[in-house]
Amino acid sequence: MRIVVRWDIKGQLTSTTLSNFIVIMNLQLILMLVILLSHEASTFYIGCGIGVE
């Protein structure tokens, strides 16, 4: 499974891998992502568009 993070900055859709996600985003969001991953197997979206492909 590949984790992809997308967020809209001034109308631009940006995608990054989990490694970059850890560098860019807050540890709280990472923890929330892990909790949601273990709770939801299918594609999900939270906040600004964190999803799993």
d(C-alpha 40, C-alpha 19), whole Å:
21
At 42 the pLDDT is 45
With CA atoms as reference, report the closest residue to 52 among 6, 3, 7.
3
Question: Quick one: pLDDT at residue 12?
Answer: 43
Tens digits of residue pLDDT in 1-53:
555 555 554 444 455 555 565 556 566 676 777 777 765 544 444 444 555 54
Chain center to CA of 7: 9
SS (H, E, C) 11-22: CEEEEECHHHHH
Please state, in angstroms and rounded to a whole number, the distance separating the CA atoms of residues 52 and 1: 8
Domain tally, the chain: 1
Q: Which domain holds residue 24?
A: 3-52
